[in-house]
């Protein structure tokens, strides 16, 4: 867990809690529970960056989400984030940054921890931030005072959600695939600006990586990934598209494949 | 603007404000009643830093990172468009002044002074061919005064393109189809619909008696209005009806639809076109302005054409307008005829106004003779049709509209317009980037031929 700081809201799961989470993640999602629609967002939320940090035995999926103040007039916020695939994360944390709306917060930027709470599905009062509402996930409890502080300098708060997963096993073509939640099924699709895949190992951590949107309406174009070389492709295949130029549907997820030794 | 420190997102916000300022200015200019005599303030004066050659060159020379490159690429056409708008502003105002000036006479029962603008409104709203011809004569008398303005505005546009090192104007040759491809497609559209148009002309009583240039043009305008399809739509020509009928599609979008005055069923089709256009342009997605919108608005026009073609669809006529099967069939045919005339006019208009095709007076005569199936008054040459700047994008959009409509049917079934899933799909498209790359390279001539075949199937 060198690259990961567990927050006080998430404990490392025990066997017993994992047994609870798995049925929630798969059983409830399959039972098609009808949920009330999520509250309408008070602003246009965007995803400036999705970053995968790959290590020898785990991968950290990091979502950077920009939440502008928009029409927010006060009150605590509950934000729902669904778990990705292949399964629930081993650990998760979230932090709140304020300041510059245009760039990534510097490494030493001040931030506040956001309290997380696991949940079998989106609670009715929670805004839908990432992923389908009827999947297991976590609710981010964002206090009014903290959000106000974060949006004060530039009008935009940056929420960074990190989830630590076991390294997925290789498929027959030596690839590992991870599904990153993007969509807010039933809500508005969030514009995605950048995908990064990096290796935390010093030598030859990742040989190549590619990414594409996946879902029933997803556009077929491969998306540009920064940080690692793209895999060799047939000459007829379309060139990767900058993520910002992709048409995002609310049912899309992001499928990232990478080749590691 | 130093090339080493360009804040692209700040530039993007300024481009958005400048674009809004120029759009507001044009709307206000259209709304001014009577002569535009008072001096008009330059709406781009506060935005010189995004509407000048220096800004364009600095941005073009800027080395953007991987993440910034799409924003830089999207900003360049905007700055080109804003430079062109700033340079052409005086001609826009001169054009409006000249078209509003009461400089001609219309020989109605009580002859009176009229303007070019009013004459064209008279042509469209005239109740019969005889009055239409009277208004056409008034318009033809005033048309030669406008040609020098159009000519000078074009020279300035070409000059702007040259100075920016581009060789084309802001909305030409910027889509997926090159100007050469558009020209071939436009010619194909005219050639392959010639027989069908001739057959329709033989069916039309107004056309068969039209033996003078004005009568020919007047009959064509009358045909294009679809006044013989009066069922189901007149009470629905309101923004409220459009938003209620396409309620899911309208959710969250910012609409500003200028609905046309009801003249014929073509007005209803035009309102739907504008609604489709607004669905795309009013979408919300959180992308930078210049990525979410482009000056040519090709995709908005494409969606506009798909919605504008809905009254040709019997399923739409029966299920949404509630007309009977027999009336639906009759109205669909009438509107298909209008759509054919419109498609041909979109192609012809591009041929006649494109800066890249540089049409001569002989070209004007040839194309108008083809469209109206006989010569029209030569005094219109050089001033009518006037250039609106969206001719290229509209032609490209027209060519792509049929594949998009077919795609919607494949995805969401024949009544896609009632399917909630279409709304989510359309909102995603509207909230996405303005430029959506095609999966395969576009063959403009094949697209034009396919459009012609679909008209033959409906009208043949």
- Using left for φ > 0, alpha for ψ between -120 and 50, and beta otherwise, residue A207 falls in alpha
Q: Which residue of A101, A188, A193 is in closest CB contact with B431?
A: A188
- Point out the least confidently predicted range of A29-38, B48-57, B420-429: A29-38
Residue of A188, A211, A243 for testing the chain B interface, max B β-carbons within 10 Å: A188
Q: How far apart are CA A167 and CA A178, in angstroms?
A: 9
Residue A188 or B153, more confident: B153
3-state secondary structure of A226: strand
CB < 8 Å & 24+ apart, contacts of B205-208: B206/B129, B207/B373
Length of chain B measured in residues:
460
ipTM: 0.79
Residues of B in contact with A245 (CB under 8 A): 70, 291, 433, 435, 437
* Rounded percentage of chain B residues whose pLDDT exceeds 70: 98
Q: Which residue of B291, B424, B436 is in closest CB contact with A244?
A: B291
Q: How far apart are CA B384 and CA A253, in angstroms?
A: 51
Q: How many CB pairs under 8 A join A and B?
A: 71
Q: In chain A, which residue's Cα lies nearest the Cα of B288?
A: A244
Helix axes B391-412, B179-192, angle to 10 degrees: 70
Q: Is the pLDDT of residue B145 over 90?
A: yes
**In this predicted model, what pLDDT tens digit does every residue of B342-389 receive, in sequence order?**
999 999 999 999 988 778 889 999 999 999 999 999 999 999 999 999
Spatial CA neighbour of A226 closest among A214, A238, A244: A244
Spatial CA neighbour of A179 closest among A132, A123, A239: A132
Instruction: Chain A: give the shortest CA distance to residue B365, in Å.
Output: 43
Q: What angle is formed at CA B458 by the lines to CA B455 and CA B460, rounded to 5 degrees?
A: 80
**In this predicted model, what pLDDT tens digit does every residue of A179-216 receive, in sequence order?**
998 867 667 788 899 999 998 876 567 888 999 999 88
User: Highest mean pLDDT: which of A14-23, B65-74, B447-456?
Assistant: B447-456
Q: Is the pLDDT of residue A77 over 90?
A: yes
Q: How far apart are CA A30 and CA A166, in angstroms?
A: 23
C-beta separation of B93 from B87 below 8 A: no
Q: Which residue of A44, A190, A249 is in closest CB contact with B425?
A: A249
**pLDDT confidence of residue A231:** 67
Q: Is the pLDDT of residue B150 over 50?
A: yes
Q: How far apart are CA A254 and CA A213, in angstroms?
A: 5
Residue B57 or A19, more confident: B57
Q: What is the mean pLDDT of residues B114-135?
A: 95
Q: How far apart are CA A128 and CA A184, in angstroms?
A: 6
* Rounded percentage of chain B residues whose pLDDT exceeds 90: 74
Q: Is the pLDDT of residue A115 over 60?
A: yes
**pLDDT confidence of residue A227:** 79
Q: Do B425 and A238 touch (CB under 8 A)?
A: no
Length of chain A measured in residues:
261
**pLDDT confidence of residue A237:** 67
Beta-carbon contacts of residue B457 (< 8 Å; ≥ 6 apart): none
H-helix or E-strand spanning residue B245: helix B239-245
Q: Which residue of B284, B286, B424 is in closest CB contact with A250?
A: B424
Instruction: Give B47's pLDDT tier (boundaries 50, 70, 90).
Output: very high
Q: Does the N-terminal peptide bond of residue B392 adopt cis geometry, omega within 30 degrees of 0?
A: no
Residue B58: beta bridge partners? none
C-beta separation of B303 from B284 below 8 A: no
Residue A182 or B335, more confident: B335
**In this predicted model, what pLDDT tens digit does every residue of B258-271 receive, in sequence order?**
899 999 999 999 99
Q: Is the pLDDT of residue A99 over 80?
A: no
Q: What is the mean pLDDT of residues B55-60?
A: 95
Spatial CA neighbour of A229 closest among A199, A187, A250: A199
Q: Is the pLDDT of residue A12 over 50?
A: no
Q: Is the pLDDT of residue B87 over 60?
A: yes
**pLDDT confidence of residue A102:** 67
Q: Is the pLDDT of residue A26 over 70?
A: no
Instruction: Chain A: give the shortest CA distance to residue B409, in Å.
Output: 14
Give the residue numbers in B contacting A (CB under 8 Å), as ranges.
7, 9-10, 66-67, 69-71, 252, 284-288, 291, 424-425, 427-429, 431-433, 435-437, 439
- Point out the least confidently predicted range of A131-145, A179-193, B126-140, B377-391: A179-193
Q: Do A238 and B69 touch (CB under 8 A)?
A: no
**pLDDT confidence of residue B114:** 96
Instruction: Give B155's pLDDT tier (boundaries 50, 70, 90).
Output: very high
Instruction: Chain B: give the shortest CA distance to residue A174, in Å.
Output: 28
Strands, E, within B284-333: which ranges? none
Q: Do B424 and A249 touch (CB under 8 A)?
A: yes
Q: Is the pLDDT of residue B45 over 90?
A: yes
**In this predicted model, what pLDDT tens digit does every residue of A36-56 receive, in sequence order?**
778 888 988 999 999 999 988
Q: In chain A, which residue's Cα lies nearest the Cα of B428?
A: A249
**pLDDT confidence of residue B296:** 94
Cα dihedral B347, B351, B355, B356 sign: positive
C-beta separation of B419 from B408 below 8 A: no
Q: How far apart are CA B292 and CA B275, in angstroms?
A: 18
Q: Do B285 and A246 touch (CB under 8 A)?
A: no
Instruction: Give B34's pLDDT tier (boundaries 50, 70, 90).
Output: low
C-beta separation of A29 from A135 below 8 A: yes
Q: In chain B, which residue's Cα lies nearest the Cα of A101?
A: B9
**pLDDT confidence of residue A20:** 38
Residues of B in contact with A247 (CB under 8 A): 428-429, 432-433, 436
Q: Which residue of A101, A194, A220 is in closest CB contact with B67?
A: A194
3-state secondary structure of A160: strand
Instruction: Give B36's pLDDT tier (boundaries 50, 70, 90).
Output: low
Q: Do A188 and B287 touch (CB under 8 A)?
A: no
C-beta separation of B144 from B138 below 8 A: no
Q: What are phi and psi of A95, to 5 degrees?
A: -135, 155
Instruction: Give A11's pLDDT tier (boundaries 50, 70, 90).
Output: very low
| End-to-end Cα separation, chain A, in angstroms | 20
Residues of B in contact with A70 (CB under 8 A): none
Q: What is the mean pLDDT of residues B306-319?
A: 94
Three-state secondary structure readout of A72-138: CCCCCEEEEEECCECCCCCEEEEEEECCCCCCCCCCCCCEEECEEEEECCCCCCCEEEECCCCCCEE
**In this predicted model, what pLDDT tens digit does every residue of B417-444 receive, in sequence order?**
999 889 988 988 998 999 887 777 789 9
Q: Do A189 and B66 touch (CB under 8 A)?
A: no
Q: In chain A, which residue's Cα lies nearest the Cα of B422?
A: A217
């Amino acid at each position: 867990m060198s690259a990961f700081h567990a927050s006080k809201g998430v404990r490392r799961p025990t066997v017993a809690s994992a047994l609870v989470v798995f049925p929630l993640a798969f059983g409830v999602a399959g039972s098609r529970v009808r949920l009330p629609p999520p509250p309408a967002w008070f602003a246009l939320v965007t995803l400036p960056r999705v970053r995968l940090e790959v290590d020898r035995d785990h991968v950290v999926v990091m979502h950077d989400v920009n939440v502008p103040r928009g029409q927010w007039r006060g009150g605590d916020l509950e934000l729902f984030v669904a778990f990705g695939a292949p399964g629930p994360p081993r650990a998760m944390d979230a932090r709140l940054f304020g300041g510059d709306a245009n760039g990534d917060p510097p490494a030493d930027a001040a931030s506040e921890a956001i309290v997380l709470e696991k949940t079998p599905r989106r609670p009715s009062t929670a805004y839908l931030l990432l992923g389908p509402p009827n999947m297991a996930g976590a609710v981010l409890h964002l206090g009014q005072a903290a959000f106000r502080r974060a949006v004060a300098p530039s009008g935009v708060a940056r929420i960074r959600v990190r989830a630590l997963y076991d390294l997925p096993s290789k498929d027959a073509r030596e690839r590992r695939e991870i599904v990153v939640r993007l969509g807010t099924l039933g809500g508005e699709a969030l514009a995605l600006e950048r995908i990064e895949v990096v290796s935390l190992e010093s030598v030859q951590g990742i040989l190549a990586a590619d990414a594409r949107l996946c879902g029933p309406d997803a556009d077929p174009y491969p998306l540009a990934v920064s940080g690692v070389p793209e895999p060799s492709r047939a000459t007829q295949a379309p060139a990767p598209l900058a993520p910002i130029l992709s048409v995002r549907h609310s049912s899309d997820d992001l499928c990232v494949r990478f080749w590691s030794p | 603007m130093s090339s080493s420190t360009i804040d692209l997102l700040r530039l993007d916000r300024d481009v958005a404000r400048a674009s809004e300022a120029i759009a507001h200015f044009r709307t206000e200019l259209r709304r001014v009643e009577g002569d535009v005599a008072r001096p008009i303030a330059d709406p781009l004066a506060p935005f010189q830093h995004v509407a000048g050659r220096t800004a364009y060159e600095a941005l073009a020379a800027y080395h953007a990172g991987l993440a910034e490159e799409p924003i830089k690429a999207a900003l360049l056409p905007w700055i080109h468009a804003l430079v062109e708008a700033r340079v052409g502003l005086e001609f826009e105002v001169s054009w409006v002044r000249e078209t509003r000036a009461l400089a001609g006479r219309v020989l109605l029962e009580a002859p009176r002074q009229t303007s070019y603008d009013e004459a064209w409104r008279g042509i469209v709203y005239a109740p019969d061919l005889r009055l239409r011809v009277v208004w056409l004569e008034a318009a033809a008398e005033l048309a030669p005064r406008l040609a020098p303005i159009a000519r000078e505005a074009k020279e300035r546009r070409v000059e702007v393109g040259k100075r920016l090192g581009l060789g084309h104007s802001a909305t030409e040759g910027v889509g997926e189809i090159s100007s050469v491809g558009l020209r071939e497609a436009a010619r194909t559209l005219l050639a392959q619909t010639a027989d069908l148009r001739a057959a329709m002309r033989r069916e039309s009583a107004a056309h068969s008696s039209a033996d003078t240039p004005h009568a020919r043009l007047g009959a064509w305008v009358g045909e294009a209005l679809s006044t013989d399809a009066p069922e189901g739509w007149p009470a629905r020509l309101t923004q409220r009806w459009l938003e209620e009928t396409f309620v899911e599609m309208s959710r969250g979008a910012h609409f500003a639809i200028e609905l046309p005055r009801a003249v014929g069923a073509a007005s209803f089709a035009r309102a739907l076109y504008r609604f489709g256009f607004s669905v795309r342009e009013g979408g919300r997605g959180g992308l930078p302005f210049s990525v979410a919108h482009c000056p040519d608005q090709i995709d908005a026009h494409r969606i506009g054409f798909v919605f504008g073609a809905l009254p040709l669809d019997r399923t739409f006529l029966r299920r949404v307008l509630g007309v009977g099967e027999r009336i639906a069939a009759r109205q669909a045919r009438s509107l298909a005829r209008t759509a054919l005339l419109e498609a041909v006019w979109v192609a012809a208009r591009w041929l006649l106004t494109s800066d890249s095709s540089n049409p001569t007076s002989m070209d004007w005569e040839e194309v108008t003779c083809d469209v109206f199936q006989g010569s029209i008054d030569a005094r219109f040459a050089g001033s009518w049709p006037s250039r609106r700047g969206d001719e290229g994008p509209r032609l490209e959009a027209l060519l792509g509209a049929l594949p998009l409509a077919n795609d919607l049917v494949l995805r969401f079934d024949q009544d896609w317009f009632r399917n909630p899933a279409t709304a989510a799909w359309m909102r995603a498209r509207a909230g996405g980037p303005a430029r959506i790359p095609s999966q395969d390279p576009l063959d403009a001539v094949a697209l034009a031929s396919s459009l012609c075949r679909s008209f033959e199937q409906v009208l043949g």
